[in-house]
Structure 1
Amino acid sequence: MPNAAPKPVIHIINGFMNENGGSEQEALHLASVLRDRSELTLWSSSSRCSRDLAHRYAIRRIGLQPGARPNGGTFVFVGAHWRHTLWPYLARAPRRLIYVFNTFHPKILSLTAAHPAMLRWPRTEYVAISEFQRRALGVECEVQPSPIDIARFSPSPDPRPDNVRPVIGRLSRDTVDKHDIDDIALYRAWAADGAEVRLQGATSFSAASGDALAAVPGVQILLEGAVPTVSFLRGLDIFYYRTGAHVETFGRVVLEAMACGLPVVCHRRGGYADWIRHGENGFLFDRTEEADQLVRTLLANADLRESTGARARATVETIYSAKAVRERADFYLRGSR
C-alpha cells in the first residue's frame, strides 16, 4: 500500500495569558478541532504565558534560540501578531498566513495586512468570527463562528426544581468595560422581586460602581473563574448579557449559554446577535426597559423558558454539527504542508 500523505503542518499562535480569556479559549478550541488532522503545535507569543495553560496543553514559548519558533506550514495567529518582533526573520516562511480577527481595532488591520518584503511571507488571509464583525471591518475574509465544545456545554442532566428561586446570571472577564452601568438597577429590581442574580466576573464592576451591589440581598458577585463555566451556566434559569464600552465580536459565552439550553436575553450589539432569532431561540433588546420586560416575562413563564432554551440548544447543534465543524476546519488544512 502507498504511504499515507503527510498531515498538514499548522502552528497556532496566541498569548495564552488568561485561561478564561475568549481569545485563549478560541485558540484552544481551534486546536482541538484541527489536532487529529494535522501536525499541530501551540505557541505563546507572550512572556506572560500562563504556566498552567502551558503545562496542560504543551504550549511552547516563542524565542530566538533554535527550535523555539514556528517553521513552515501554516501560521494561524489568534489575537496575536508578528510585527515588531525578531523571530519571524529567523523562521522558515509559512506556506499560508492566517489571522483570526477577534477585535475591531483598525491598528491590528494595518499591522497584519502587510509585512516587510524581506520576510517573503504570503498575503494574510483573514478569518472573522461573525458576520457582524465582517461588516464592521469591511475586509474580505472567511467567516467562521468561534468553536465551542457542545458535548461539554450541554443542558444539565438534572432539571431545575420548580420550588426554588429562579436564577438570572451572566459571566465574563472581570473588567469594567464588560458591564453596563444601567444593569445595576435591573439586578437590584429583579432580586427585590424574588429572583436570584449571579454575576461571575463582576468584582471590578462592583468596585467601580461604589459597591452598589455588594450588600444587595439576592445578588451574588463572584470572581472570574470562581465556578467552572459549565457548572455556572447549568445553575441558571435565564442568561442575561450586555456589555459597556466593550463590543463583542462574537460573544462566545452567549453561545455557550444557548448550548446549555438556556433562554438568553441579550443586548442587540454584538456578534452573537447574528444567531439569535428574537422570540424564538432567544431575545434581543435595545433599551433597558425592554430588557427588564423580557426577563420578567421569562421569570413568570417556566414553559417559555424551557421551550426557548430547547430551541437555543437546537440552533447551536446546527452551528456545531460534526459536518459543519469539519467543513470549517478544511479551510485551515488546505495547502499547509
Structure 2
Amino acid sequence: MTIVLTAAVSQKPRWLEGNPCHQPKIHIISTFVSAVGGSEWRAIALYEELRHYCEVQLWSTAIPAPELLKQYPIRRIRQHWGRFPKTGTLIFMGIFSFPKRWVQLTLPSRIIVVYNTYTPEFFAPTLRRLSLRGLRTVEVVYASEMIKQSVNYPGIVEPSLIDINHFVPAPRSAQWEAGDRFKIGRLSRDEPEKHHPQDPELYGQLVEHGCEIQVMGGTCLAHACGDSPHIHLLPCSHEQSLAFLQNLDCFFYRTSEQLLEAFGRVVLEAMACGLPVVCHARGGYTEVIEPGRNGFLFETNQEALEILLRLKRDRQLRQQIGQAARATVEAIYHPERRQQIINFYLGLSGQTSN
C-alpha cells in the first residue's frame, strides 16, 4: 500500500536552540485497556525512560485498565471537557482506530506515531488527520521491518524497550532433573486470537511425550484443551510474568492467522530470561531469531513437536540456545542503543523518521 502525503518541512523546535534541558512536555497516547498488552507496556517502558529527562504524561483514549491506573499517571482524554494534550511532543503508541477531532485542535512541536500493531486500515487515515492533510510533519516509528514494509511509508524501526535487568535468567540448579516433566509455556493476553487453533492438539501430543504445558493467558482454551492434569491454563498477570518465565524450560509462541504480531514483546522477554524460544515463523520477532542459534522457528505442528522434543532430550542444546538468546537481547538493548532511542524522542539525536 502506498500512502501519499504532502509532507511539510520539519522545522527545528525552538526549545532545541538553547539549553537542551528546557524540553517541552512529552505526551504518550495509547488505549491502556489491557494490563498485559504489548502496546501498553511499550508505552509504559518509554515513559519510565523519558521521565528522567523531562515531564511526561500518559493519556488514554479509552477506559484504562484499573491495574495500570493504580500504578501510573494515566489521564483519560475528554475532548468535550478540553482535557487532551495541546502542545509539546505527541507520541501515539499504536493505531487502533481513526483519531478523534481533538488531534486537529493541538499545536504540537512534534508528532510521532509508533506503528506497533498491524492495523493497515487505520494507518493512512490516521496520518492524514494528524498531519492536517500535509500541513504538519508526522514521524513514524515501526516495531519491525516487517510492519514497515507492509505500509510502504518512510520511518525508522525501533525495538520495544524491555528492562533486561528485570527479565533475567533464573538459577537452574533445581531444574532439569531426570524425573521432572519438561515445562513448556507461553504468555499472552487471554483472548482466542492470541492462540492458534492447532495449539491444543500440539499440547496434547507434548503431554503424551512427558511434557508439562503452562499457558498464562490461556483460560480461553479451557474447552479445547480438556481436563489434562499436565496442561495448566492460567489467567494473565503482568506482575507474575517474570516468575512464570523463570519457571519454564522452554518458551513456545504462535498466534492465530487473524492476528499478526508486529513485534512480539513477550518473545524477547523470554529470550532475556535465557529461555530457548520456539516460535511460529510469522511475526516481527522473526527478525531477531536465528534458527538453531538463539531460538527456533517453525511452520507446522509437526515441526514444532520435533523441535520441542529435541530440546527436551538435549539439555546442552537448550542451555546453548538460551545463552545465545540472552546475548542477543543484551546486544539489542545495549546502553548506547537504548540511549539513542531515548534521544530520538527527546529530539537530541539528529535522527528523524522521515
TM-score after normalising by structure 2: 0.86
Q: Residue 162 and residue 329 in structure 1: after superposition, are their counterparts in 2 closer, same or farther (change >3 A)?
A: same
Whether the aligned pair in 1 keeps the contact of 2:36 and 2:238 (CA below 8 Å) is no
Give percent identity, aligned residues only.
40
CA distance in 2, matches of 1:29, 1:249: 17
CA distance in 2, matches of 1:160, 1:178: 31
CA distance in 2, matches of 1:320, 1:81: 27
Whether the aligned pair in 1 keeps the contact of 2:142 and 2:158 (CA below 8 Å) is yes
* Offset, 1:153: 0.8
CA distance in 2, matches of 1:108, 1:101: 10
Whether the aligned pair in 1 keeps the contact of 2:104 and 2:129 (CA below 8 Å) is no
1:151 counterpart residue number: 165
Whether the aligned pair in 1 keeps the contact of 2:279 and 2:298 (CA below 8 Å) is yes
Structure 2 unmatched runs, 5+ = 1-17, 350-354
- Residues 106-133 of structure 1 show CA distances to partners (whole Å, capped at 9, x for unaligned) of 2221222212787996222111011121
1:304 counterpart residue number: 317
Amino acid at match of 1:35: R
CA distance in 1, matches of 2:254, 2:196: 6
Whether the aligned pair in 2 keeps the contact of 1:74 and 1:97 (CA below 8 Å) is yes
CA distance in 2, matches of 1:36, 1:331: 15
2:7 counterpart residue number: none
Whether the aligned pair in 1 keeps the contact of 2:91 and 2:113 (CA below 8 Å) is yes
Instruction: Give SS of 2:252's match.
Output: strand
Whether the aligned pair in 1 keeps the contact of 2:168 and 2:272 (CA below 8 Å) is yes
Amino acid at match of 1:315: T
Amino acid at match of 1:203: T
* Offset, 1:3: 7.3
Amino acid at match of 1:102: N
Amino acid at match of 1:38: C
2:242 matches 1:235: no
Alignment match of 2:292 (pick from 273, 279, 294): 279
Instruction: Give SS of 1:36's match.
Output: coil
Q: After superposing the two structures, state which structure 1 stretch, 107-116 or 16-25, moved more.
A: 107-116
Whether the aligned pair in 1 keeps the contact of 2:27 and 2:88 (CA below 8 Å) is yes
2:71 matches 1:56: yes
- Residues 8-34 of structure 1 show CA distances to partners (whole Å, capped at 9, x for unaligned) of 421101111111111111110111121
Structure 1 unmatched runs, 5+ = none
* Offset, 1:219: 0.9
- Residues 204-234 of structure 1 show CA distances to partners (whole Å, capped at 9, x for unaligned) of 233xxxx231311311111122871111100
Structure 1 segments of 4 or more deviating over 4 A? 80-84, 116-121
Amino acid at match of 1:171: L
* Offset, 1:139: 1.4
Alignment match of 1:128 (pick from 129, 135, 142): 142
Whether the aligned pair in 2 keeps the contact of 1:254 and 1:264 (CA below 8 Å) is yes
Whether the aligned pair in 1 keeps the contact of 2:96 and 2:119 (CA below 8 Å) is no
2:22 counterpart residue number: 6
2:43 matches 1:27: yes
Q: Residue 77 and residue 28 in structure 1: after superposition, are their counterparts in 2 closer, same or farther (change >3 A)?
A: same
TM-score after normalising by structure 1: 0.91
Q: Residue 14 and residue 115 in structure 1: after superposition, are their counterparts in 2 closer, same or farther (change >3 A)?
A: same
Q: Residue 3 and residue 295 in structure 1: after superposition, are their counterparts in 2 closer, same or farther (change >3 A)?
A: closer
Q: Residue 225 and residue 121 in structure 1: after superposition, are their counterparts in 2 closer, same or farther (change >3 A)?
A: farther
1:182 counterpart residue number: 198
2:326 matches 1:324: no
* Offset, 1:331: 1.4
CA distance in 1, matches of 2:228, 2:98: 47
Whether the aligned pair in 2 keeps the contact of 1:239 and 1:264 (CA below 8 Å) is yes
1:249 counterpart residue number: 262
Instruction: Give SS of 1:326's match.
Output: helix
Whether the aligned pair in 1 keeps the contact of 2:193 and 2:259 (CA below 8 Å) is yes
Q: Residue 189 and residue 201 in structure 1: after superposition, are their counterparts in 2 closer, same or farther (change >3 A)?
A: same
1:102 counterpart residue number: 116
Amino acid at match of 1:212: A
Q: After superposing the two structures, state which structure 1 stretch, 8-17 or 252-261, moved more.
A: 8-17
CA distance in 2, matches of 1:195, 1:82: 41
Aligned length: 329
2:207 matches 1:195: no
* Offset, 1:86: 3.8
